[in-house]
Amino acid sequence: MKHTNKLFAILLAVVMTVVLALPMSFAADEPSTSRENDLRVMVMSDMHTIPESMIKGTADYQHAIDLDQKVFNESEAILDTQLQQVRASQPDVLLLNGDITKDGEYAAHKSLATKLKQLKKDLPGLKVYVTNGNHDINNPAAKNFNTADGKAVKAKPTTQKDFRNLYKDVTWNDSTVKATYTPPEGAQAGALSYVARPKKGFTVIVIDSNCYTSDNTSDGEQLCEVRGNIPADLLKWAQRQARAARKRGDTVIGMMHHGVVSHFTQEATILGHFLVDDFRNVSTKLADAGMHYVFTGHQKGNTFYDIETGSSITYPCPMRAVWFLREGSAKTDNGWKETVKGSSIKNLSIAHTDPQTGEYVSIGDMTAYAKERGLSPAVISAVLKDKLYWSLPNYPAELDTVIDKLIPDLCNIPVTDDGKHTLMDIVNYANQSHQGGTDNGQDPAWVKEAKKNVAENRFVAALTDTLCKDLAVLTGQGVNKLTKTDLVQGPAVDLLYHSLFGAAHVSYYTAPQIAKDLDEFLVKTLDSMTNDKNYPNDNAFSITGANTVREGQANWSSLDNGISDKNLVQKLIYALLGNGNG
């Protein structure tokens, strides 16, 4: 069952891809300018910006974008448009919560820092707080695609020291930054954490949750990983900062790249790398210390709201606007009342010269444009082949033929009785419902029928037939050259050996308990992504609660708008194969 679930996880991985979707800028009932007791915040996340000067219409670049759903060609134009939106909205604070460059290219960070410095000049009162994501530091995938011979070359990566230096005039040198975290002697993890007080009554605690230094990576290498981790010393520091802020009566707001609350039912099971390690304990301690809100990227008592913001360059290409309003006083026994309202800015238009084609293009609605870049059999096949090629010591060329046959056949399995809707359709429906914030359980008739068929094990039976028919021809395709000895030398042993070679054994897939377990897994996955029970409205929200300086026990909620931009097909394959840099 373990291996069957892994195979299905790859095919259904994109169901877990989630991106924030919200309705329009600051709400109509909010004041047009900031008041003494409020804080107006805008959030941009997972911009994955790559300067257009590093892109060229070559085979290497085309291969890179074939492996992803992100609209990299438009990333710089989207960034410029969203920064213009910040200028128009004039918030008190702009948060950038990680994965702000494609793959941590130094040139991309430098370009972004220059744009942010100009933004601060244009809006002298604006505070810009930046944090890094898993892509941004010590990333070996950094590439420059704009070369004379068309062959991509390694670009200069960004170190922890580089990151702070590049953004020092944007963030660290700002007078509102009151404290920075210093790791224990000999450690580096978390060193980009800091505390700011943008306004009286508000404290922002930024936690570097990323793993990219040798003291905090799984293999001890100085290279970035997808997973998030908050070392014990850093967590204690954040707790002290939150308690101190709470003691003086501040509203405490956190920011980090990784989630601290599960944003959908299956996230901790399937996509644990997008949550910080031991997230339940971490969120409890932060909430009990007085942090009620945390802005994350990568997707009542002392209530803890994990407000996740989606990628600027993946459907629906949003940014978030949040308004904090305080009424009352922390000096009284009754404390103060907080109202937090959130809305969004999306459906933005851009116009630019496409760096891949050289043509001038105008896109009237980026949300609609990005929605067309959904998951497809071609994308899944490309990602799978790419990862296996780099993971296996002896990759037979014939395996490409098998994958090109198997993946489309699996994706095109009907999920409705009339055969009009396929596995690929239900995957994209679930994915984009969650991305767009429409995961409210109000499914169209065909989706209800598909869910019913999955629950009744009819889909599993069809899948079994397809697997057996396709994989029975493996030896005829020459894949028998791929031996078990080869596989155990690489990280793909479980996934490949049992999924490919074991699939021809019908009994392995049709055992009653295996079918039952698989059925339950699929039902939970679909329900988790299309019927969000964490928060009633992901597109717009309003939270009101009373606060005092006293501590208590925490419980959690999440505005389930996404695991940032994550391309779950690629990320889950990374996780399953024990290797990744997503």
Q: Could you read off the pLDDT of 347-368 as tens digits, one per residue?
A: 999 999 999 999 999 999 999 9
Q: Whose CA is closest to 46, among 18, 23, 88, 27? A: 18
pLDDT at 288 over 70: yes
Q: Where are the domains of the chain?
A: 376-529
Distances (CA, A) of 514 to 3, 124, 461, 470: 10, 61, 12, 20
User: Residue 551: what pLDDT?
Assistant: 39
Q: What is the largest CA-CA distance in the chain?
A: 79
Summarised one tens digit per residue, pLDDT across range 18-67 is: 222 223 355 444 554 457 789 999 999 999 999 999 999 999 999 999 98
Give the integer Cα–Cα distance in Å for 45 and 317.
10
Structure tokens at 250: 């501040």
Beta 177-180 vs 194-199: how paired, if at all? Answer: antiparallel
Using a pLDDT cut of 90, give the percent of the chain over it.
51
Instruction: Note the pLDDT of residue 554.
Output: 37
pLDDT of amino acid 383? 86
Angle of CA points 548, 553, 556, to nearest 5°: 100
More confident residue, 100 or 2: 100
Q: Which residue has the higher pLDDT, 478 or 282?
A: 282
- Dihedral of alpha carbons 412, 561, 294, 104, sign: positive
Task: Give the Cα separation of 534 and 532 in Å (integer).
Answer: 6
**pLDDT over 60 (residue 487):** no
Residues 6+ apart with CB under 8 A from 474: 402, 480, 500, 501, 504
Q: Can you tell me the distance from the alpha carbon of 229 to that of 210, in angstroms, rounded to the nearest whole number?
A: 6
CA 59, 500, 467, 429 torsion-angle sign: negative
Average pLDDT over residues 263-272: 70
Would strands 350-353 and 336-345 be described as parallel, antiparallel, or unpaired? unpaired
Helix, strand, or coil here: 545?
strand
The pLDDT of residue 305: 80
C-alpha distances in angstroms, 501 versus 228, 289, 402, 507? 34, 52, 12, 13
Cα–Cα dist 450/416, whole Å: 5
Q: What is the pLDDT of residue 555?
A: 41
Establish how many alpha carbons lie within 13 A of residue 369's alpha carbon, considering only the half-sphere containing its beta carbon. 23
Mean pLDDT of 267-274: 71
Tens of pLDDT, residue by residue over 387-419, are 888 877 788 887 888 888 889 998 999 999 999
For residue 556, is pLDDT > 60?
Answer: no
Residue type, 293: Y
Q: 318-336: per-residue pLDDT in tens?
A: 999 999 998 876 655 556 7
Q: What is the mean pLDDT of residues 480-497?
A: 37
β-strands 291-296, 302-308 pairing: parallel
How much is the pLDDT for 175? 98
What average pLDDT does the chain have? 80
Strand arrangement, sheet containing 202-206? 177-180, 194-199, 202-206, 251-255, 291-296, 302-308, 554-559
Pairing of strands 93-97, 38-44: parallel
Query: Distance of alpha carbon 516 from its chain centroid, rounded?
Result: 31
Residue 223 has pLDDT above 90, yes or no: yes
Average pLDDT estimate for 58-78: 94
Query: Which pTM was predicted?
Result: 0.84
Q: What is the mean pLDDT of residues 169-190?
A: 98
Q: What pLDDT does 503 receive?
A: 37
Which of the 8 DSSP states describes residue 78? H
Of 540, 561, 83, nearest to 316 by C-alpha is 561
Measured from the Cβ of residue 518, the count of other Cβ atoms closer than 10 Å reads 22
Cβ neighbours for 116, distance < 8 A, ≥ 6 positions apart? 96, 128, 130, 167, 170
pLDDT of res. 536: 56
The predicted pLDDT at position 199 comes to 96
* 76, two tokens: 């710089």
Lowest mean pLDDT, pick from 210-224, 456-470, 516-530: 456-470
User: In the structure, what pLDDT confidence band is assigned to residue 78 with cuts at 50, 70 and 90?
Assistant: very high
Q: How far is CA 329 from CA 302, 326, 543, in A?
A: 18, 8, 18
Rounded distance between C-alpha atoms, residue 478 and residue 401, angstroms? 10
Q: Residue for token digits 């329009």? A: 24
pLDDT band at 196 (very low <50, low <70, confident <90, very high): very high
Please tell me the predicted confidence (pLDDT) of residue 494.
Answer: 38
Q: State the CB neighbour count (10 A cutoff) for residue 516.
A: 13
DSSP 322-360: EEEEEEE-TTSTT-EEEEEEEEEE-S--EEEE-TTT--E
pLDDT attached to residue 512: 54
Q: Is the pLDDT of residue 488 over 60?
A: no
The helix or strand, by DSSP H or E, that contains position 319, with its residue range, turns out to be: strand 319-328
Place of tokens 């989706």: 447
SS3 per-residue string spanning 431-492:
HHHHHCCCCECCCCHHHHHHHHHHHCCHHHHHHHHHHHHHHCCCHHHCHHHCCHHHHHCCCC
Using one digit for the tens of pLDDT, what is the confidence trace for 125-167? 999 999 999 999 999 999 999 999 999 999 999 999 999 999 9
Kindly report, residue by residue over 412-464, the tens digit of the pLDDT.
Answer: 999 999 999 999 999 899 888 877 777 888 899 999 999 998 888 777 777 76
**pLDDT at residue 118, rounded to an integer:** 98
Better pLDDT: 3 or 63: 63
Mean pLDDT to the nearest integer, 186-206: 97
Instruction: Give the separation between CA 335 and CA 576, rounded to whole angstroms.
Output: 48
Residue 486 confidence (pLDDT): 38
Q: What is the pLDDT of residue 235?
A: 98
pLDDT at 327: 84
Amino acid in position 500? L
* Residue scoring higher pLDDT (435 or 269): 435
pLDDT of residue 552: 37
